[in-house]
Structure 1
Amino acid sequence: MTKHQKRLSVPKSWPVERKTETFTVKADAGPHGEAGVPLLIVLRDVLEYADSRKEARYALNQDNVLINGTPVADEERPVGMFDILAFDERDEHYRVFPGQGGRLALTPIDADSAGSKLGKIVEKRTVPGGDLQLTLHDGQTLLVEDDSEYGGNDSVVVSNDDGEIVAHFPYEEGELVTAVDGAHAGDIGRIEEIQTTPGSSSNNVIVEQEDGDGFETVEEYVVVIDENFTGDDEADATAKEGDDE
């Protein structure tokens, strides 16, 4: 299996230029599936903290680069939506957030906010032994004593230290959401209406915005978020986003 990825065929969420060179690094298997961006691309192409794979490997071997509170040494480790990226020596912290057009962007956050990450519940089920398990959008699983308060498409905030749920945001009308895919990726608003579609088709979500525009998208493309995501130095400023094509 090839270790290279053609730039023209990378997922649209990857913040890379597609026409400058033929190949780029391929992400390892891991969180976020095919949408996960290799850490090397973030370090080299987005933040420009390394000029080469060799420099990135050296930096990662110092255990000063953390994803969701855990030091990472693999430059091909996928980074994806809502991950927390921290640089201890620089005292810098970022949240991976969907930018305009669906390209992932790094949003600066403070150290307190970097202690936990947001996750969208995509599945909940009973596992052997009778435990109740929630599966999040990035593949992380959580065991809970009672899942009755958690619904599909709800969001939870998970502590990076112990994996405990520290906040819960239900998927319902009136909640703040961001679109993470589709034509409105990166847009933020409140759910005005959830339109249930009969059969196997996706439900539609109508989102209202303060500027009055609003938008409509499918249920899979929206994630309920915390009010803090709309701070001046957070979701409104998709800092460190990759260059335009």
Structure 2
Amino acid sequence: MANRGPTKHLKRLVLPSYIKIRRKDKKYLLKPSPGPHPKDDSISLGVLLRDYMGIAANMREVRYILRNGRIKVDGRIVKEPKFPIGFQDIVDIDGVGKYIIDIDSHGYFVPRDYNGNSQILKVIRKTKVKGGKLQYTFHNGRTLLSEDSSIKVGDSVVYDVNSKSISKIISQDLNRECIVLRGKHRGFRGKIKQVLNIGKRVADVVNEKGESVRTDYKYLFLLG
């Protein structure tokens, strides 16, 4: 039998745990396309507008809104319903409001009201390019050329989507505020209390209630 290619939808009953929608209403959910966020840690823009925010009743309305250029993601107009949306994306909806995509304590994506232009980005790659400059790649697929060599992989930066510039570097130090982005502790927020090398690099994170978790260090996302 011939290969029919990749599926265009996700089955609701086997969705990743971070997607908070009703799973028995319909059989399928629109699958995010390849893009700035990995498909296993993002939702499609159409799902955000219809299932999370209720701005559209169905995908026909979603496509109408997008065709009219009413949606900006990180300052750029997006017209593709399958465009992947992930942590710290800024979604600006003309006539409705501006939102930033956050992760709550249960690990679910949540759009929160937002009136700023800055987002926090995690550095996932650092490459030297021609001319002696450094190219930084961030968790949302964005890249930036810079002469600043002090930024390290694993650091976070505060990035302005309008000026396309970094206003602050959040380095990897103890007592930094962070959130766990993957694993069974996804959504846990607290401060880094210690980092250990026990076959792999792990970190102990403690929240303001004194609750502590140990997680893979690479799952951490520095917030401040």
TM-score by length of 1: 0.83
Q: Does 1:123 align with 2:128?
A: no
Shift of 1:84: 0.8
Q: Which residue of 2 aligns with 1:167?
A: 168
Q: Which residue of 2 aligns with 1:236?
A: none
Q: Does 1:107 align with 2:107?
A: no
Structure 2 Cα separation of the partners of residues 9 and 220 of structure 1: 26
Consecutive unaligned residues in structure 2, runs of 5 or more: none
Provide, for residues 46-74 of structure 1, a one-character-per-residue CA deviation record: whole Å limited to 9, x for no partner: 10110111101111223222111112111
Identity %, equivalent residues = 28
Counterpart amino acid of residue 62 in structure 2:
A
Q: What secondary structure does 1:44 align onto?
A: helix
CA separation of 1:132 and 1:197: change in aligned 2, threshold 3 A:
farther
Aligned to 2:205, which of 198, 203, 207? 207
Shift of 1:209: 1.8
Q: What secondary structure does 2:132 align onto?
A: coil
Q: Which residue of 1 aligns with 2:85?
A: 79
Q: What secondary structure does 1:42 align onto?
A: helix
Aligned to 2:44, which of 30, 33, 38? 38
Counterpart amino acid of residue 3 in structure 1:
K
Aligned pairs, how many? 218
Structure 1 Cα separation of the partners of residues 86 and 157 of structure 2: 16
Q: Which residue of 2 aligns with 1:178?
A: 179
1:212-223 alignment runs, 5 A limit: 212-223=210-221
Shift of 1:183: 2.4
Provide, for residues 58-106 of structure 1, a one-character-per-residue CA deviation record: whole Å limited to 9, x for no partner: 112232221111121111111001111122312x222111223422111
Q: Is the 2:105–2:189 contact (alpha carbons within 8 Å) kept by the matching residues of 1?
A: no
Structure 1 Cα separation of the partners of residues 175 and 22 of structure 2: 37
Q: Which residue of 2 aligns with 1:230?
A: none
Q: Which residue of 2 aligns with 1:154?
A: 155
Shift of 1:42: 0.5
TM-score by length of 2: 0.90
Shift of 1:128: 3.8
Q: Which residue of 1 aligns with 2:194?
A: 193
1:60-99 alignment runs, 5 A limit: 60-90=66-96, 92-99=97-104
Q: Which residue of 2 aligns with 1:238?
A: none
Structure 2 Cα separation of the partners of residues 212 and 58 of structure 1: 48
Q: Which residue of 1 aligns with 2:34?
A: 29
Counterpart amino acid of residue 173 in structure 2:
E
Counterpart amino acid of residue 100 in structure 1:
S
Larger relative contact order, structure 1 or 2 (CA cutoff 8 Å, min sep 6): 1
Q: Is the 1:101–1:182 contact (alpha carbons within 8 Å) kept by the matching residues of 2?
A: no
Q: Which residue of 1 aligns with 2:10?
A: 5
CA RMSD of the aligned region, Å?
A: 1.7
Structure 1 Cα separation of the partners of residues 112 and 180 of structure 2: 16
Whichever structure has more strand as a proportion of its residues is 2
Counterpart amino acid of residue 89 in structure 1:
G
